[in-house]
Amino acid sequence: MKSNTSRRIVLASTSPRRQELIASLHIPYEIHPSHVDEHTPKEWSPEHIVEELSLRKAQAVYAEIADPGEDAVVVGSDTIVVLGDEVLGKPADDEDAFRMLKSLQGRTHQVYTGIACIDAANGQTQVRHRMTLVTMKELSDAQIKAYIKSGEPSDKAGAYGIQGLGAILVERIEGCYFTVVGLPVSLLSDMLPEFGINVL
């Protein structure tokens, strides 16, 4: 197993939030967007959804760069918000964002994020996930509309971003904050030694 001095991470995502979190680990990395079908059967559990979609993203990039001489680990990640038995993905439009945010008011929901790692040299694969509980404050319709007007909800699961203006919507969380942002870095750091990368 090679040391972490030469190995790099290939992040299968265009998410600026995931890029910032990967950069914080001080490991060489590059961005390689994946374009995959994100539809999943309705009967799948949240854990199954995020692990499968993370794997799909990582596999799509692995298929493009796989090479025995490639000294890299492909990392794919996916996040969903679950309220009761409803999975909330990215809102289709402002109306959909309003519906999602209105349904989350004063309630506790779950945020699941999956991570898939694939060794670009040999295809070795590991997939895991984390879940965090998030409790939202009660907001007026006017406050929800003002938040939507900021543009922040448009590309985020559950129509909010905890690391931005959306932080003011959240009353409390139980679990890993970075799971809600979109990449549980402590979980990733636990997975990477299997691929010869030690963060510390």
Contact 13, 58 (CB under 8 A): no
Radius of gyration for the alpha carbons in the chain, expressed in angstroms and rounded? 17
Give the Cα separation of 27 and 6 in Å (integer).
9
* Catalytic residue annotation: 78
Give the Cα separation of 155 and 19 in Å (integer).
15
Give the Cα separation of 147 and 70 in Å (integer).
44
